[in-house]
Structure 1
């Protein structure tokens, strides 16, 4: 019966045109809804956790702050903004110097001085509106962002899909620091979804001078302690208000 109907449709121009239209519609339906590929990550598909180009060795020029560095890449000096993290400011024109900003910068510098530096790009845009490269940064194969998060010197921030390859790992590292209450997490409500609230930090550090601080901490406090302030560390040895 179907064979007879098809044969009869071909016998007239209108019927042939209708049959061709039907075949075309079926073709586009199949193209739009292909059979589900259950072999995710096989050849021809991009894995979420697979490097776009792998690690690219670069020359470190200098550390700018906790989440920005300058490197030599493709023959020229360029700034790199770390993907998926945010650290307190060290010299912002409006926000000034924020608590733990210097610590994050120093730890970033320290980490990068201990091996070969490399960057890894994600599948999203490679530069921001300031022309900085957006990348994951490694030293001797270890991810620097994850280390800063683990030590409570950075928060997860500036998440813009599809550049989210290491987001799960970073959030887990951030949670471990939160649970320990270290670094930026030692000050209640200091780290927020929008950045860092310096007013919260000021209320958390009520010591106006070393006399007040030593009344609570007789031996002084080390850099990294919530009560540490650089202005109370006169000799810049990393110990504020130490007993003489």
Structure 2
């Protein structure tokens, strides 16, 4: 399940791509398949191990072009393990809402980007996220959970404060918003029949990509898309 638009980010073969807070690697995999040199970064040891395993599977299956490379490393987003001005593209998907000192994280993104480099930042959208917070403290108030809800104006302001130029934006995953509202309403640790049924719908959508759900998301994403995506560029001077 991809949140960013790789054509909008303009990921090309030969680019160096940094995937921050990679989780289990979903965005790193697509960049690798597009021929990039990918470094996936996460603080969690299990996440790094899982991502590295799947990257190896992609290589073994011949799904990555010749010349592409990928690795997963454990790292702190406040002290990124790469030199300044060395990265063509950065992906920071659903991670900044977890970081108390997000200003430093934005500054680190700007530091590692080459002039002319681009970043895609995704965070939970304010409206759907606020509903989840109102319905359930367990959804966000836990160790490593969400500590803030961004408005788009705030994301753009933080990017600009780090010296980046915010550009296009869009929303994604509208079908996921009602699922999480339902989970929060019944209890995030509970799994009654309606939750299981909705989850089966999401899995069906993910595995088959039918036209009916694709059309529904195109209509609903601007209204209730669960994720906000903002793209930005590092100026040449």
Give the TM-score of the pair, scaled to structure 2: 0.25
Give the TM-score of the pair, scaled to structure 1: 0.25
User: Which structure is higher in RCO with an 8 Å CA cutoff and minimum separation 6?
Assistant: 2
- Comparing both structures, which one devotes a greater share of its residues to helix? 2
